[in-house]
Amino acid sequence: MFNTVTTIPRVLTVAGSDPSGGAGIEADLKVITANGCYGMTAITALTAQNTLGVGGIHHIPGPFLRSCLEAVLSDVGTDVFKTGMLGSEENILVVAEILQKYGITKTVIDPVMISTTGSKLLPESAVNAVREKLFPLALLLTPNIPEAIQLLPSHQPLNSLDGLISAAKALGEMGPKNILLKGGHLPFRRIEGGYVPAEKEEEKETMIDVFWDGNDFTLIESPYVNTKNTHGTGCSLASAIASNLARGMEVLEAVRAGCNYVSAGISSALMLGKGHGPINHLHSNYIMPFAPGRFVDYLLNHPSVRPIWHEYTHHPFTTQLGAGTLRKESFQHYLIQDYLFLIQFARANSLAGYKSASIPAISKTASIVQYVVAETALHLSYCNRFGLTQSQVEETEESLACTAYTRFVLDIGMSQDFFALQVAMAPCLLGYQEVALRLEKEGKKDSNIYWEWVESYSGKDYGEAVIKGREFLEGFAQDVGVKRIGELVAIFAKATKMERNFWGMGLECS
């Protein structure tokens, strides 16, 4: 017999038990399994609860909890240590002792204090122990708003986005390396230039979680879903993030993927129980390798795409453009080739219209063509400012990079379906905005003759086009099979390489 050795990422969850299956240890194990990891448990408390509330709590004694943790860690070990409901100061002290004894640094600390139904799950006397003993050992702390209020009793009210950001920073100063302040209790609506809390049900558009890494913050948005089925969201999110960390993701990447997972679990929740029902923990196991509405995120984070995407969006051509140090000859050459590319891009979209099977789809592609036509006019005007006449532009031969890219897109349009063509053209649409937003933040505006390019692709009009394009892709992605997804990833990856080579063409021109 062959002695085969296989490995799987390991996650140890230390939390209470929920007999109704929506939260606690029961939810943790579902989530960990659904996210491709091996789950282990140490139970801190038995609860009598369901979707209506918590009827009773039986705490596990500290010495027995220690025995459970020792049994797991001395034998199987763990890649990530996740905590949920600890229930008592004694158990908090045991967890802190074990983390230090085994030198465990990959920790997700979910400071569970209040259940979804409002039941207190941690006595007030134990809150200080969480702050003093667990905060310094946390790679990531994941409080919700009520928990943050308990942890920061003297902080300003958490009723605005600025308040959430300030609270995340304040929590970060107390020891954890990273903070994810979950904003599920404070829905927002979008306004020009920002967000305000939504006061009416019909105004609720988005939920915002604030991630703080000690130096900078990131806002992670999820669509608001009008539902009462949110039982176990905090447990599930912490377990999803822990699983992502165990699989090798960086912290912010793990958080984003975890938020996407839970968002899809809420939007696809099943009706179970009479109160706050559980989220759908197994949604992604039923259909696709990505959650509903997350096809684009799946493309961008796919192992075969991610390194190429970084090369494309962080290419030296773009960095020099943002800094204003790019040679004028390089930019002129790029402008000419980009104009020639737009001609073929319009042809490709016209072909997409021909291949469309419905009036709305035909109308959509026609509007894209009109947008490209308008962009070519603006492009020629921009070229003129760099000393290039229309005749000079149109008489120039296509570069090899331009020809290779445009013919690849046209070939996809001829040989494959409408959706494949849209995927082939997506790196251009998505990447230009990502590049421009990066340059807007990192670049040099003063005396930069290329700054108008940055403003064009980081601006509102182009942003709206990207939103529409993403929605278009997400709508089609739900109707294709799993095998087809692999083919589309390959198309997207190759088109991204072509975009990267297009920047290279600009730098290499003589």
Name the residues annotated as catalytic: 428, 499
Of the candidates 55, 57, 61, the one whose C-alpha atom is nearest the C-alpha of residue 42 is: 61
Give the span between the Cα atoms of 377 and 372, in whole angstroms.
Answer: 9
CB-CB contact of 110 with 148 (8 Å): no
Neighbours of 304 (CB within 10 A): 15
Give the span between the Cα atoms of 423 and 467, in whole angstroms.
Answer: 15
Give the span between the Cα atoms of 2 and 489, in whole angstroms.
Answer: 36
Give the span between the Cα atoms of 42 and 74, in whole angstroms.
Answer: 14
Of the candidates 425, 419, 420, the one whose C-alpha atom is nearest the C-alpha of residue 406 is: 425
The dihedral over CA atoms of 259, 265, 268, 271, expressed in degrees to the nearest 10, equals -140
Give the span between the Cα atoms of 333 and 398, in whole angstroms.
Answer: 10
The structure tokens listed for 42 are: 């140490």
CB-CB contact of 500 with 315 (8 Å): yes
- Residue 197 makes CB contacts below 8 A (sequence gap 6+) with 159, 160, 186, 187, 188, 189
Give the span between the Cα atoms of 195 and 210, in whole angstroms.
Answer: 13
Which amino acid appears at position 410 of this protein?
L
Q: What is the 3-state secondary structure (H, E, C) of 95-110?
A: HHHHHHHCCCCCEEEC
Give the span between the Cα atoms of 87 and 112, in whole angstroms.
Answer: 8
37 alpha-carbon distance from chain centroid = 20
Of the candidates 251, 119, 129, 259, the one whose C-alpha atom is nearest the C-alpha of residue 183 is: 259
Give the span between the Cα atoms of 167 and 159, in whole angstroms.
Answer: 11
- Residue 40 makes CB contacts below 8 A (sequence gap 6+) with 10, 11, 12, 13, 72, 76, 78
Count Cα neighbours of 488 within 13 Å in the Cβ-side half-sphere: 27
Give the span between the Cα atoms of 183 and 197, in whole angstroms.
Answer: 11
The structure tokens listed for 472 are: 């278009």
